[in-house]
Amino acid sequence: MTVKDVQHEINRLTDVLNDYAYHYYVLDQPKVSDAEYDQLLNELKRLEEEHPELKRDDSPSERVGGQPLEHFVKVQHDIPMLSLSNAFNENDLRDFDRRAKQNLGHEPSYSCELKIDGLAVTLKYDKGRFVLGATRGDGTTGEDITNNLKTIPSIPLRLKEDVTIEVRGEAFMPKRSFIRLNEAREENGEALFANPRNAAAGSLRQLNPKIAAKRNLDIFIYSVSQLEGKEMASHHESLEFVKQLGFKTNDQHKYCRNIEEVIAYCEDWLGKRADLPYEIDGIVIKVDALKDQEALGFTAKSPRWATAYKFPAEEVVTTLVDIELSVGRTGVVTPTAILEPVSVAGTTVKRASLHNEDLIREKDIKLGDKVTIKKAGDIIPEVVNVLTSHRTGNELDFNMPKECPECHSELIRIEGEVALRCVNPKCPAQIREGLIHFVSRNAMNIDGLGEKVITQLFDHDLVTDVADLYKLHREELLKLERMGEKSVDNLLKAIETSKENSLEKLLFGLGIRYVGSKAAKTLAQHFETIEKLQGANREELEAIDEIGEKMADSIASYFEMPEVNALIEELQGQGVNTDYKGPRLQTENESTSFFSGKTIVLTGSMEQMTRDDAKVEIEARGGNVTGSVSKKTDLLIAGDKAGSKLTKAQDLNIEIWNEERLLQELQNND
């Protein structure tokens, strides 16, 4: 065969096999037998091995998984992957409908979909070719898992049209695949996965794609987040469009004309969920018309046009064997019920939170009681009630201790609080929990420093405070159990990378009482350096929006402690950044830039800077960059090959700039 003949045959086999895979995995309508498919695939692999330069990037041989990665690369989402608000009953659904009608001025129609219990991912295609797949992460930043997602046969590597599009979906493990996986793990003496959701997430976060390829994962696409050159009128229309492109959508989604039809759909699936070949944990309800979605907009955490109806939690009976006490990073002593293992909502439950002493007294909980437990929101196990009629007389009362179970300091109850608290700042449990919080995703986000590794470091006296994390040496880490050369090198690299975090990450990581991630961002934006924050008094703190008297007092008291200021000096000495790196707030004394307060949309490709870079620069000057064009848009920046957003902006008579004009104005507004 000539090279031209080989290319023709590779193209033919690739197209034929991709079509067979589409009919098998997406349409569930096999065209050929498995044996015939395998025979053609083996022939394609043979030709590709002989002529690797002729292999197409959408070849089905890509599905077997490539070379292992050293680590996952972080990915910034162009449009945040927000979580949904929850509805737990009919009243919550009607409240959601009432708010939508109130804000829109008319009754909306809805699109209802099964809420698949898996891992949310985003997929990007450039002119029809799959170029990037990422996890949701914290909603703003995820991880590049493209190679693992390529192993899912229902994800097209090339679309049926050459469109540039970003879609979002739920990757999951079917029930039958989950059963087979756990059976194989049991035979090999490996730990079993608790449920299909954990199995899917664990599979897609394997650094070796060949492992993911063996896990038989699947996906349903549930939304279009970005699309060049085409406008959609409704959510259900966008689902039909992506289906035509070759994506797999859930065929149980339904268009509902009003909230009554939504409620009927939810009630119907409540009784049928167990019959599905995959796990679901509720129903997603979305306002169907995209113009209505745009009008409703978003809160800081979730869209106002969508909600997740969560199925009522499954309740089961088991025995409360013991009550264990744990000390958190703020010193609060929390009782936890130790239970006879029982299966609840697909997972084995051995522990359940009891929150505090008052709850134990209120529910009259005794050791040895038969109790009803459920998973609140299908996630957190909790004790619902005690079955007193089952008591035998052998049950024992439980009394909270007067001393800390970790350091034996006296426990106190602060006025107005229900919790018992250890106030010893040297309590080892508080230090350990504080370290775990410091390295967590929303704080310093140090990969590889999980709870088990932190406990090891603490138990071996390698860390006593957060500054010690930046003094760790390779040699001492290699001596720890399950710490090989590669994992140690990756850990040290992650610790070094965390030094560059913006100030708000550090502030949240320090664990100042009442200061969550949002308040940390507010403080960082306002003061810009930790030195200015350290010098602020209570009145200055209270003057900031969202910082109340209680939080201001906590912040001021925290920075008055000499050991805190010594810790910050030590962190700075280790090279940890203590300045804010995000967009600056405009002050009354500063001249307002052109961009300040304006809503701006970026579209098309740029030559001298990326769209992400442009977004950062605009936001640093007070602008608000959004993903869609509407009547509220003040300015459109159009790069090369701008599509439907440019057309819409022209129709709405919105001001339009090219990249050159943007660069000029950025320079003028420095």
Cβ burial 600-639 (10 Å sphere, 16+ → b, else e): bbbbbebeebebeebbbbbbbbbbebbebbbeebebbbbb
Q: In the Cβ-directed half-sphere of 555, how many Cα atoms lie within 13 Å?
A: 29
* Rounded Cα–Cα distance for residues 626 and 78 (Å): 9
Encoding tokens for residue 225?
């987040």
Contact present, 580 and 525 (Cβ < 8 Å)? yes
* Rounded Cα–Cα distance for residues 211 and 438 (Å): 31
DSSP conformation class of 207: S
Contact present, 86 and 301 (Cβ < 8 Å)? no
Helices (H) and strands (E) in the chain, counts: 24, 22
* Rounded Cα–Cα distance for residues 515 and 521 (Å): 10
CA distances from 331 to 35, 238, 405, 638 (A): 62, 50, 11, 54
CA distances from 610 to 243, 605, 638, 643 (A): 30, 8, 12, 17
Q: What residues are paired with 657 via a beta bridge? A: 637
Contact present, 304 and 103 (Cβ < 8 Å)? yes
* Rounded Cα–Cα distance for residues 369 and 339 (Å): 10
Q: Which residues contact 83 (CB under 8 A, 6 or more apart)?
A: 139, 301, 302
The closest alpha carbon to 86, from 345, 292, 302, 346, belongs to 302
Amino acid at 9: E
Amino acid at 173: M
Contact present, 117 and 347 (Cβ < 8 Å)? no
* 472-481: long-range contacts, CB 8 A cutoff, minimum separation 24: 480/453, 480/456, 481/456
115 is known as an active-site residue: yes
Largest CA distance in the chain: 88
Cβ burial 243-260 (10 Å sphere, 16+ → b, else e): eebbbbbbeebbebeebe
* Rounded Cα–Cα distance for residues 307 and 262 (Å): 12
Amino acid at 154: S
CA distances from 5 to 8, 11, 373 (A): 5, 10, 66
Encoding tokens for residue 242?
């992506």
CA distances from 248 to 15, 21, 153 (A): 18, 12, 10
Amino acid at 485: E
Instruction: Please identify which of the residues 31, 115, 291, 426 carries the catalytic annotation.
Output: 115
List, edge to edge, every strand of the sheet that includes 599-603: 624-626, 599-603, 635-638, 655-657
Q: Which residues contact 640 (CB under 8 A, 6 or more apart)?
A: 604, 605, 606, 607
The closest alpha carbon to 32, from 47, 21, 43, 45, belongs to 21
Show which residues are catalytic.
115
